[in-house]
Structure 1
Amino acid sequence: MIDSITIRAVFGGQERAFALTDPVLAELERSTDTGIAAIFESLGGLNYKVGHLREIIQLALIGGGASHQEAAELWTAHGTGRPIFELVALCQVIMAARWYGTDDQELAAWAAPQPDARHRRRNRRNRSRSLFRVPRPPRQRHPGPCRSG
Protein backbone atom coordinates (compact mmCIF):
# COMPACT_ATOMS: atom_id res chain seq x y z
CA MET A 1 0.00 0.00 0.00
CA ILE A 2 3.05 2.27 0.27
CA ASP A 3 2.92 2.72 -3.52
CA SER A 4 -0.20 4.85 -3.12
CA ILE A 5 1.81 7.46 -1.16
CA THR A 6 5.21 7.14 -2.87
CA ILE A 7 6.37 9.56 -5.53
CA ARG A 8 9.45 9.43 -7.69
CA ALA A 9 11.16 12.74 -8.33
CA VAL A 10 14.60 13.93 -9.36
CA PHE A 11 16.76 15.03 -6.44
CA GLY A 12 20.51 15.33 -6.73
CA GLY A 13 20.46 14.57 -10.44
CA GLN A 14 18.87 11.16 -9.97
CA GLU A 15 15.32 9.86 -9.70
CA ARG A 16 14.56 8.91 -6.10
CA ALA A 17 11.61 7.56 -4.14
CA PHE A 18 9.96 9.79 -1.52
CA ALA A 19 7.30 8.54 0.91
CA LEU A 20 5.89 9.86 4.16
CA THR A 21 5.09 6.54 5.83
CA ASP A 22 3.34 6.38 9.21
CA PRO A 23 6.58 6.15 11.27
CA VAL A 24 8.11 8.95 9.18
CA LEU A 25 5.03 11.15 9.74
CA ALA A 26 5.30 10.62 13.49
CA GLU A 27 8.99 11.57 13.36
CA LEU A 28 8.21 14.66 11.23
CA GLU A 29 5.63 15.88 13.73
CA ARG A 30 7.98 15.16 16.65
CA SER A 31 11.04 16.81 15.11
CA THR A 32 9.19 19.94 13.99
CA ASP A 33 6.83 20.09 16.98
CA THR A 34 4.08 20.82 14.44
CA GLY A 35 1.10 18.80 13.23
CA ILE A 36 1.08 17.40 9.71
CA ALA A 37 -1.91 19.51 8.64
CA ALA A 38 -0.23 22.70 9.87
CA ILE A 39 2.96 21.82 7.97
CA PHE A 40 1.00 21.10 4.77
CA GLU A 41 -0.96 24.35 5.14
CA SER A 42 2.21 26.36 5.80
CA LEU A 43 3.77 25.16 2.54
CA GLY A 44 0.84 26.47 0.53
CA GLY A 45 0.59 29.70 2.48
CA LEU A 46 4.31 30.52 2.31
CA ASN A 47 4.49 30.43 6.10
CA TYR A 48 6.99 27.57 6.42
CA LYS A 49 10.34 27.27 8.13
CA VAL A 50 13.36 26.20 6.11
CA GLY A 51 14.06 23.56 8.75
CA HIS A 52 10.71 21.98 7.89
CA LEU A 53 11.80 21.65 4.25
CA ARG A 54 14.92 19.78 5.31
CA GLU A 55 12.96 17.48 7.60
CA ILE A 56 10.30 16.71 4.98
CA ILE A 57 12.83 15.87 2.26
CA GLN A 58 15.17 13.85 4.47
CA LEU A 59 12.39 11.88 6.15
CA ALA A 60 10.60 11.26 2.83
CA LEU A 61 13.86 9.89 1.41
CA ILE A 62 14.07 7.55 4.42
CA GLY A 63 10.43 6.54 3.90
CA GLY A 64 11.28 5.87 0.25
CA GLY A 65 14.04 3.43 1.21
CA ALA A 66 17.19 5.51 1.81
CA SER A 67 19.21 5.07 4.99
CA HIS A 68 19.39 7.85 7.57
CA GLN A 69 23.01 8.52 6.59
CA GLU A 70 22.26 8.54 2.86
CA ALA A 71 19.33 10.95 3.35
CA ALA A 72 21.51 13.31 5.41
CA GLU A 73 24.31 13.18 2.83
CA LEU A 74 21.88 13.82 -0.03
CA TRP A 75 20.45 16.84 1.80
CA THR A 76 23.92 18.23 2.52
CA ALA A 77 25.08 17.73 -1.07
CA HIS A 78 21.92 18.70 -2.95
CA GLY A 79 19.52 20.47 -0.59
CA THR A 80 21.71 23.20 0.81
CA GLY A 81 22.42 26.22 -1.36
CA ARG A 82 19.46 25.48 -3.67
CA PRO A 83 16.75 27.98 -4.55
CA ILE A 84 14.13 27.67 -1.83
CA PHE A 85 11.34 27.61 -4.42
CA GLU A 86 12.64 24.27 -5.78
CA LEU A 87 12.69 22.76 -2.30
CA VAL A 88 9.22 24.05 -1.45
CA ALA A 89 7.81 22.65 -4.70
CA LEU A 90 9.29 19.22 -3.95
CA CYS A 91 7.96 19.33 -0.38
CA GLN A 92 4.50 20.28 -1.61
CA VAL A 93 4.44 17.27 -3.95
CA ILE A 94 5.71 14.93 -1.21
CA MET A 95 3.05 16.17 1.21
CA ALA A 96 0.31 16.08 -1.45
CA ALA A 97 1.18 12.46 -2.24
CA ARG A 98 0.57 11.56 1.39
CA TRP A 99 -2.50 13.79 1.69
CA TYR A 100 -4.29 12.84 -1.55
CA GLY A 101 -2.45 9.74 -2.75
CA THR A 102 -0.47 9.31 -5.95
CA ASP A 103 -3.45 8.29 -8.07
CA ASP A 104 -3.99 11.98 -8.77
CA GLN A 105 -2.95 12.47 -12.42
CA GLU A 106 -1.80 16.08 -11.97
CA LEU A 107 0.42 15.11 -9.06
CA ALA A 108 1.93 12.21 -10.98
CA ALA A 109 2.62 14.41 -14.01
CA TRP A 110 4.24 17.12 -11.90
CA ALA A 111 6.52 14.71 -10.06
CA ALA A 112 7.55 12.74 -13.16
CA PRO A 113 11.16 13.34 -14.19
CA GLN A 114 11.66 15.44 -17.30
CA PRO A 115 13.28 13.81 -20.36
CA ASP A 116 16.43 15.92 -20.43
CA ALA A 117 18.16 18.81 -18.66
CA ARG A 118 17.43 21.36 -21.41
CA HIS A 119 13.72 20.68 -21.06
CA ARG A 120 13.90 21.16 -17.25
CA ARG A 121 15.79 24.44 -17.59
CA ARG A 122 13.35 25.77 -20.16
CA ASN A 123 10.35 24.76 -18.04
CA ARG A 124 11.89 26.23 -14.89
CA ARG A 125 12.61 29.49 -16.68
CA ASN A 126 9.09 29.72 -18.10
CA ARG A 127 7.54 28.76 -14.77
CA SER A 128 9.47 31.40 -12.86
CA ARG A 129 8.49 34.07 -15.36
CA SER A 130 4.82 33.28 -15.09
CA LEU A 131 4.83 32.96 -11.30
CA PHE A 132 6.59 36.18 -10.52
CA ARG A 133 5.43 38.46 -13.33
CA VAL A 134 3.76 41.60 -12.06
CA PRO A 135 1.28 43.08 -14.51
CA ARG A 136 2.10 46.58 -15.62
CA PRO A 137 -0.56 49.25 -15.85
CA PRO A 138 -1.54 50.13 -19.42
CA ARG A 139 0.47 52.92 -20.96
CA GLN A 140 -1.37 56.15 -21.37
CA ARG A 141 -0.82 57.95 -24.60
CA HIS A 142 0.37 61.48 -24.36
CA PRO A 143 -1.96 63.73 -26.35
CA GLY A 144 0.95 65.62 -27.91
CA PRO A 145 1.29 69.36 -28.34
CA CYS A 146 -1.86 71.42 -28.51
CA ARG A 147 -2.47 73.12 -31.81
CA SER A 148 -4.57 76.14 -32.03
CA GLY A 149 -6.10 76.87 -35.23
Structure 2
Amino acid sequence: MSEEALSTAVYRTLGGRDYRFQLRLGEMRELERLCNAGIGAIWRRMAMLEFRVDDLRETIRLGLIGGGTPEPEAEAIVRFSIDARPVNDYFDLALAIIKAMFEGVRPKKPDGTDQSGVPETSAPSMSSAAPQDSAPDKSTT
Protein backbone atom coordinates (compact mmCIF):
# COMPACT_ATOMS: atom_id res chain seq x y z
CA MET A 1 0.00 0.00 0.00
CA SER A 2 1.37 3.40 -0.93
CA GLU A 3 2.06 6.16 1.58
CA GLU A 4 -0.79 8.70 1.47
CA ALA A 5 -0.79 12.32 2.51
CA LEU A 6 -2.57 12.89 5.79
CA SER A 7 -5.23 15.56 6.19
CA THR A 8 -5.71 17.95 9.10
CA ALA A 9 -9.50 18.15 8.62
CA VAL A 10 -11.86 16.42 11.04
CA TYR A 11 -15.51 15.69 10.23
CA ARG A 12 -17.92 15.57 13.16
CA THR A 13 -21.55 16.20 14.04
CA LEU A 14 -22.31 19.21 16.24
CA GLY A 15 -25.81 20.39 17.13
CA GLY A 16 -27.32 17.77 14.84
CA ARG A 17 -25.38 18.84 11.71
CA ASP A 18 -22.20 17.54 10.12
CA TYR A 19 -19.27 19.95 9.94
CA ARG A 20 -15.70 20.06 8.76
CA PHE A 21 -13.20 21.32 11.36
CA GLN A 22 -9.66 22.36 10.50
CA LEU A 23 -7.02 24.55 12.09
CA ARG A 24 -4.97 26.24 9.41
CA LEU A 25 -2.09 28.62 10.09
CA GLY A 26 -4.32 31.68 10.54
CA GLU A 27 -6.66 29.86 12.94
CA MET A 28 -3.71 28.49 14.91
CA ARG A 29 -2.25 31.97 15.31
CA GLU A 30 -5.63 33.33 16.44
CA LEU A 31 -6.01 30.42 18.89
CA GLU A 32 -2.60 31.20 20.36
CA ARG A 33 -3.54 34.87 20.72
CA LEU A 34 -6.92 34.18 22.33
CA CYS A 35 -5.54 31.54 24.70
CA ASN A 36 -2.33 33.45 25.47
CA ALA A 37 -0.23 30.34 24.80
CA GLY A 38 1.60 28.61 21.99
CA ILE A 39 -0.19 25.88 20.06
CA GLY A 40 1.99 23.21 21.66
CA ALA A 41 1.13 24.47 25.13
CA ILE A 42 -2.59 24.45 24.29
CA TRP A 43 -2.39 20.84 23.04
CA ARG A 44 -0.39 19.83 26.10
CA ARG A 45 -2.92 21.49 28.43
CA MET A 46 -5.68 19.47 26.76
CA ALA A 47 -3.72 16.22 26.87
CA MET A 48 -2.83 16.72 30.54
CA LEU A 49 -6.40 17.82 31.42
CA GLU A 50 -5.05 21.21 32.52
CA PHE A 51 -6.92 23.14 29.81
CA ARG A 52 -8.79 26.39 30.08
CA VAL A 53 -12.35 26.63 28.79
CA ASP A 54 -11.24 28.85 25.90
CA ASP A 55 -8.65 26.25 24.87
CA LEU A 56 -11.61 24.01 24.00
CA ARG A 57 -14.20 26.59 22.91
CA GLU A 58 -11.90 28.54 20.64
CA THR A 59 -10.39 25.37 19.14
CA ILE A 60 -13.89 24.33 18.08
CA ARG A 61 -14.95 27.79 16.87
CA LEU A 62 -11.75 28.36 14.91
CA GLY A 63 -11.87 24.77 13.64
CA LEU A 64 -15.31 25.50 12.19
CA ILE A 65 -13.99 28.65 10.52
CA GLY A 66 -10.94 26.82 9.15
CA GLY A 67 -13.27 24.11 7.90
CA GLY A 68 -15.26 26.61 5.86
CA THR A 69 -18.04 27.79 8.17
CA PRO A 70 -18.51 31.57 7.99
CA GLU A 71 -17.30 33.36 11.12
CA PRO A 72 -20.73 34.64 12.34
CA GLU A 73 -22.25 31.20 11.85
CA ALA A 74 -19.34 29.52 13.67
CA GLU A 75 -19.84 31.86 16.64
CA ALA A 76 -23.58 31.11 16.72
CA ILE A 77 -22.99 27.34 16.51
CA VAL A 78 -20.55 27.47 19.42
CA ARG A 79 -22.80 29.76 21.44
CA PHE A 80 -25.79 27.42 21.10
CA SER A 81 -24.10 23.99 20.88
CA ILE A 82 -21.11 24.42 23.22
CA ASP A 83 -21.47 27.28 25.71
CA ALA A 84 -24.38 25.83 27.70
CA ARG A 85 -23.13 22.22 27.65
CA PRO A 86 -20.98 20.35 30.16
CA VAL A 87 -17.29 20.39 29.23
CA ASN A 88 -17.24 16.60 28.79
CA ASP A 89 -19.75 16.96 25.92
CA TYR A 90 -17.26 18.80 23.71
CA PHE A 91 -13.82 17.94 25.07
CA ASP A 92 -13.42 15.02 22.64
CA LEU A 93 -14.20 17.26 19.66
CA ALA A 94 -11.66 19.94 20.65
CA LEU A 95 -9.01 17.29 21.27
CA ALA A 96 -9.69 15.62 17.90
CA ILE A 97 -9.35 18.97 16.08
CA ILE A 98 -6.04 19.88 17.64
CA LYS A 99 -4.70 16.31 17.42
CA ALA A 100 -5.48 16.21 13.69
CA MET A 101 -3.55 19.45 13.26
CA PHE A 102 -0.50 17.92 14.94
CA GLU A 103 -0.63 14.31 13.73
CA GLY A 104 -2.89 14.34 10.69
CA VAL A 105 -5.74 11.98 9.88
CA ARG A 106 -6.43 9.77 6.90
CA PRO A 107 -8.53 11.51 4.22
CA LYS A 108 -12.18 10.37 4.15
CA LYS A 109 -14.02 8.50 1.43
CA PRO A 110 -17.66 9.42 0.67
CA ASP A 111 -18.87 6.45 2.80
CA GLY A 112 -17.25 7.95 5.94
CA THR A 113 -14.36 5.50 6.15
CA ASP A 114 -10.74 6.48 5.94
CA GLN A 115 -8.58 5.21 3.10
CA SER A 116 -7.87 1.97 5.04
CA GLY A 117 -11.61 1.20 5.08
CA VAL A 118 -11.90 1.54 8.86
CA PRO A 119 -14.81 3.70 10.10
CA GLU A 120 -13.78 6.82 12.02
CA THR A 121 -13.78 6.49 15.80
CA SER A 122 -14.12 9.22 18.36
CA ALA A 123 -11.18 10.84 20.09
CA PRO A 124 -10.17 9.69 23.58
CA SER A 125 -12.47 10.87 26.33
CA MET A 126 -11.40 13.17 29.13
CA SER A 127 -10.76 10.13 31.32
CA SER A 128 -8.21 8.71 28.89
CA ALA A 129 -6.76 11.85 27.28
CA ALA A 130 -3.62 12.22 29.38
CA PRO A 131 -0.57 10.45 27.93
CA GLN A 132 1.45 7.98 30.00
CA ASP A 133 4.50 10.24 30.16
CA SER A 134 4.75 14.00 30.51
CA ALA A 135 4.55 14.85 26.78
CA PRO A 136 1.78 14.31 24.21
CA ASP A 137 2.23 11.01 22.36
CA LYS A 138 3.37 11.77 18.83
CA SER A 139 3.71 8.15 17.72
CA THR A 140 -0.03 7.62 17.06
CA THR A 141 -1.08 7.74 13.42
Please indicate, yes or no, whether the TM-score normalized by the shorter chain is above 0.5: yes
Identity %, equivalent residues: 30
How many angstroms apart in 1 are the aligned matches of 2:29 and 2:67?
15
Native 8 Å contact 1:19 1:98 kept in 2: yes
Identify the residue that residue 94 of structure 1 maps to in structure 2: 97
Identify the residue that residue 110 of structure 1 maps to in structure 2: 121
What residue identity is the alignment partner of 1:47? E
3-state SS of 1:109 partner = coil
Native 8 Å contact 1:19 1:63 kept in 2: yes
Once the two structures are TM-superposed, the CA of residue 82 in structure 1 deviates from its matched residue by: 1.3
How many angstroms apart in 1 are the aligned matches of 2:88 and 2:81?
14
Matched, 1:28 2:31: yes
Matched, 1:37 2:40: yes
Once the two structures are TM-superposed, the CA of residue 93 in structure 1 deviates from its matched residue by: 0.4
3-state SS of 1:24 partner = helix
Q: Structure 1 or 2: larger helix share?
A: 1
With the length of structure 1 as denominator, give the TM-score of the two structures. Answer: 0.68
Native 8 Å contact 1:9 1:111 kept in 2: no
- 1:34-73 paired onto structure 2 within 5 Å: 34-73=37-76
Structure 2 unmatched runs, 5+: 1-5, 108-113, 129-141
- 1:9-28 paired onto structure 2 within 5 Å: 9-28=12-31
- 1:131-146 paired onto structure 2 within 5 Å: none
Once the two structures are TM-superposed, the CA of residue 51 in structure 1 deviates from its matched residue by: 1.6
Which sits farther off after the overlay, 10-19 or 77-86? 77-86
How many angstroms apart in 2 are the aligned matches of 1:110 and 1:40?
20
What residue identity is the alignment partner of 2:18? E
3-state SS of 2:121 partner = helix
Runs of 4+ with >3 A deviation: none
3-state SS of 1:17 partner = strand
What residue identity is the alignment partner of 2:91? V
Native 8 Å contact 1:58 1:71 kept in 2: yes
Bigger-Rg structure (1/2): 1
3-state SS of 1:5 partner = coil
Structure 1 unmatched runs, 5+: 113-126, 133-149
Taking only aligned residues, the RMSD between alpha carbons, in angstroms, comes to 2.6
